[in-house]
Amino acid sequence: MAQANPYILAAENPAALLTLLRANPSIASGQDGHGYSLLHAAASYNQLDLLRALVKEFNVNVNLTDEDGETCLFVVETPEIAQCLIEELGVDRNIKNSDGLLAEESIVNDGSFPAVVAYLQGRTVEAVESNDMLHTAAPLPPNVTLNMSTVTEQANANGAEAEVVDSEFRRRIQELAAKENFHSDEGQRELRALVTDALRDVNAETQEKAMRRRVD
């Protein structure tokens, strides 16, 4: 009878894998052709008890790296697993992969697990999400696009375009985006009010210039 694939068991039946490992302890430190280990599998599939057993019971080196030079810390998907690896099992956070990135940097670049990023950087999840600033903001007033340096009133009836680049406006936008309630209804109301005020100033300036041209 063929032996069950330990990597599949790590994902689907960690209890059965532990039984297999106790019968064949040498499997615990095994790695496939790409250097992927059961540690990587346990970390990736959020199998906390299996992860602890591999290190504490079967003495697997928590800093095993795969062919990309990545430890199991690089593949974590929950802050609980990251915390266990760092605070309990002693994984080395200073190991860099073949691209020269720390686990924290690699996970930040991936952008898929903000709660893990929050834990690794000692911040709350809300603080991590606020770094997205305006990327997920609610709809702005009609015919307006917004980024951190400009507010543009798009092609009006005359095909004209008015652009505002104002350091004070940027500062106010950044200050607003850093608030924990930025993505709430209240935060979005504040954002729309800020943009509307800026556009009102643009319109006033445009009208003043038009008046001067007519007078001249």
**What does the DSSP assignment read for 15-57?**
HHHHHHHHH-GGGGG-B-TT--BHHHHHHHTT-HHHHHIIIII
Please tell me the chain's helix, strand, coil percentages from 3-state DSSP, rounded to the nearest 5.
Answer: 55, 5, 40
Residue 137 lies in a domain: no
Predicted local distance difference test score (pLDDT) of residue 140: 47
So what's the pLDDT on residue 35? 96
1: in domain:
no
**Which pLDDT value is given to residue 94?**
96
The whole-number pLDDT of residue 192 equals 78
Per-residue confidence of the chain (216 residues) as pLDDT tens digits? 567 899 999 999 999 999 999 999 999 999 999 999 999 999 999 999 999 999 999 999 999 999 999 999 999 999 999 999 999 999 999 999 999 999 999 999 998 899 999 999 887 554 444 444 434 444 444 544 445 444 444 434 444 433 444 567 667 777 777 776 767 777 777 777 777 776 666 555 555 544 554 445
Q: Name the residue range of residue 154's domain.
A: 144-215
pLDDT of residue 196: 74
The string of DSSP codes covering 134-180 is TTTPPP-STTEEE-SS-EEE---TTS--EEE--HHHHHHHHHHHTST
The token duo for 133 is: 């600033």
214 Cβ contact list (under 8 Å, min separation 6): none
Last residue of a domain, one of 130, 155, 175: 130
In the listed set 130, 162, 184, which residue is the last one of a domain according to the structure? 130
What are the strands of the beta sheet with 144-146, ordered from one edge?
144-146, 151-153, 162-164
Total of domains in the chain: 2
Contacts within 8 Å (CB) and 24+ apart, 79-88: 79/115, 79/116, 79/118, 79/119, 80/46, 80/48, 81/43, 81/46, 81/48, 81/51, 82/116, 82/119, 82/120, 83/119, 84/48, 84/51, 84/52, 85/43, 85/51, 88/52
Length of the chain measured in residues:
216
Domain end position, chosen among 98, 130, 162 = 130
Directed axis angle between helix 167-177 and helix 185-215, to 10°?
Answer: 170
Apex CA 63: angle with CA 60 and CA 69, to 5°? 130
- Please report whether residue 119 resides in a domain: yes
Whether 19 and 43 map to the same domain: the answer is: yes
pTM over 0.75: no
Based on the fold, state whether residues 77 and 157 are members of the same structural domain: no
Give the integer Cα–Cα distance in Å for 49 and 42: 9
Task: Give the CATH number, domain containing residue 74.
Answer: 1.25.40.20
Predicted local distance difference test score (pLDDT) of residue 191: 78
Which pLDDT value is given to residue 46?
97
The pLDDT, as a whole number, for residue 70 is 98
